[in-house]
Structure 1
Amino acid sequence: MPTVNQFEDLQAWQKARTLSKAIHQATRDKAFQDDYDLRRQIRRAGGSVMDNIAEGFGRGSRGDFVQFLGIARGSLTEVKSQLYRSLDNGCFDRLVFDELYTQASEVGRMIDGLLLYLNNSSNKGRRYSKGAEKTDDER
């Protein structure tokens, strides 16, 4: 896997961002106006996936990244459950459900791939590199 210097270069983050945007679009429909709590929760969980990928990467250590990818995976599973609730409550149709569920599954495979890579890597992360440039937070 090539060296990634910023979280925006991670394909898993890019796909999670696309999923978050698609969820936001799908929940603009009038059907969600009547279920504010579900709309808010599925949007937050969708955003949490991309945010935790970014935060884990930003921590600069393999262990932290693995931990935050696990949290992102949990949020993604929450999104999938909420997709079922949205379908069952008539907030969107099967076509929208299938598209969002497929996107969520793709993000999950990407997170799993990152986890596999990190768990088999001997690289401890940026934080432990010789001559690593310290971020403003680490100074």
Structure 2
Amino acid sequence: MAIQKFEDIIAWKKAQDLAVEVYALFSKSKDYGFRDQICRASVSISNNIAEGFDRSSHADFKRFLYIALASCSEVKSMLYLAERLDYVNSEKATVLKDKCTETSKIITGFIKALN
């Protein structure tokens, strides 16, 4: 059965969940530059999946999936930094980094399926 809408894509759902958690975790951060960057990157994951889904070709969709994958790596990298800066405790950082890894694996599988 083919996916009919982007809301059915598991990677999109996981990315949305990740963005909600990132926003909740950093919403009170006074490091506005850091907060803005990690929140924007987290939102970029699901937005690029959605935008790519409505493109006219598999090649376009894959390009946007690669952008989503890169945004996921950006969020993960920033979580390492957040941990080093003591913006987040190690346990929470690990949970979110694991969610980034899981989302990345799903996106990568989706890219392979489109090949």
What TM-score, normalized to structure 2? 0.97
Q: Which has the higher helix share?
A: 2
Partner in structure 2 of residue 15 of structure 1: 14
After superposition, the C-alpha distances for 1:61-110 in whole angstroms (9 at most, x for unaligned) are 10110000000011111111100111111101001101100111110010
- How many residues of Structure 1 are paired with residues of Structure 2 in the alignment? 115
* Partner Cα distance (1:61, 1:14) in 2: 22
Residue in structure 2 matched with residue 118 of structure 1 by the alignment: 114
* Deviation of the 1:7 alpha carbon: 0.1
Aligned-partner Cα distance in 1 for 2:16–2:94? 18
What is the rounded CA distance, in whole Å, between the counterparts of 1:117 and 1:18 in structure 2?
23
* Separation (CA, whole Å) in 2 of partners of 1:28 and 1:95: 18
1:50 aligns with 2:46: yes
Q: Say whether 1:24 aligns with 2:20.
A: no
Q: How far off its partner does 1:36 sit?
A: 0.8
Q: Which residue of 1 aligns with 2:65?
A: 69
* Structure 1 stretches of at least 4 aligned residues deviating more than 4 Å after TM superposition: none
The sequence identity of aligned pairs, in percent, is 37
Max Rg structure: 1
Name the counterpart of 1:106: 102
* Structure 1 residue identity aligned to 2:90: R
Which whole-Å deviations, capped at 9, do the CAs of 1:28-78 have from their partners, x for residues lacking one? 24xx22x11001000000000000000000113101100000000111111
Give TM-score scaled by structure 1 length: 0.80
